[in-house]
Amino acid sequence: MPRCREFDIDHALDQALNAFWLKGYEATSMTDLMAAMGLSKSSFYECFGSKREALLAALSRYSEREMAETRRHFSAAEPVAVLLAEWVRHSIDPAACRPSQRCGCLIVNIAVELAPHDREIEDAVRHHLDMLAAFLAETIQRGNADGSIPSGFEPAHSADMLLNLIAGIQVLAKGGVETHRLAAIIDVQLECLLGSTH
């Protein structure tokens, strides 16, 4: 793919994932995508081959970036329970949608739109969710060890509960459920996991 050497592929993929994040896969036309990436038609096809392949590459880029940001968040010195509550509540922070209106998680958006109909995209989505679940389970174990998270739940099950909470909150938000109701759902779920420590 010689044309890939002529531009910053990471920057191009960041712009691609922004386009998919903003409008969804089907609603993002090839014209939209190439304009966002700043590529000519020939460069795009020589490097990526198709819109679908660009999506898969963008999902991989997004997954790497999100996991790095999540690890960085949880590397702070505060008790794990505090960090976990902040991380979950960030999912309903209105500021996270501005100015681009890229609301929610790209992985969740693509899971809802495409994963049921495309096995390779389903695998990419599941790979990210499995990595995140494993990291959250390790993080919950750290919280058990520092005393900020009660040890009443098996860490892997708690991690899956958090995945379900985050994905569900983002789908509800896209459906127009008010922020105060989403916050109440989060508070109930965090109370279940963290008790009164959050």
What are the tens digits of pLDDT across the range 170-180? Answer: 889 888 889 89
pLDDT band, very low/low/confident/very high, at 91 (cuts 50, 70, 90) = confident
C-alpha of 69 from chain center: 10
CATH of domain 74-198: 1.10.357.10
DSSP string for 17-79? HHHHHHH-TTTS-HHHHHHHHT--HHHHHHHT-SHHHHHHHHHHHHHHHHHHHHHHHTTSSS-
Please compute the mean of the pLDDT values over residues 81-107 and round it to a whole number.
75
CATH of domain 1-60: 1.10.10.60
pLDDT tens-digit map of 101-131: 556 789 999 999 998 899 999 999 999 999 9
Please compute the mean of the pLDDT values over residues 59-75 and round it to a whole number.
95
> Tokens at residue 49, please?
């081959």
Question: Is 82 a residue whose pLDDT tops 90?
Answer: yes
Please compute the mean of the pLDDT values over residues 144-169 and round it to a whole number.
93
Question: Is 3 a residue whose pLDDT tops 70?
Answer: no
**CA angle (135, 139, 143) in 5-degree steps:** 170
Question: Is 95 a residue whose pLDDT tops 70?
Answer: no
pLDDT given for residue 196 in this prediction: 56
pLDDT band, very low/low/confident/very high, at 2 (cuts 50, 70, 90) = very low
Length reported for the chain: 198
Residues carrying CATH 1.10.357.10, the chain: 74-198
Question: Is 169 a residue whose pLDDT tops 70?
Answer: yes
Residues carrying CATH 1.10.10.60, the chain: 1-60
pLDDT given for residue 4 in this prediction: 66
> Tokens at residue 100, please?
């681009």
pLDDT band, very low/low/confident/very high, at 1 (cuts 50, 70, 90) = very low
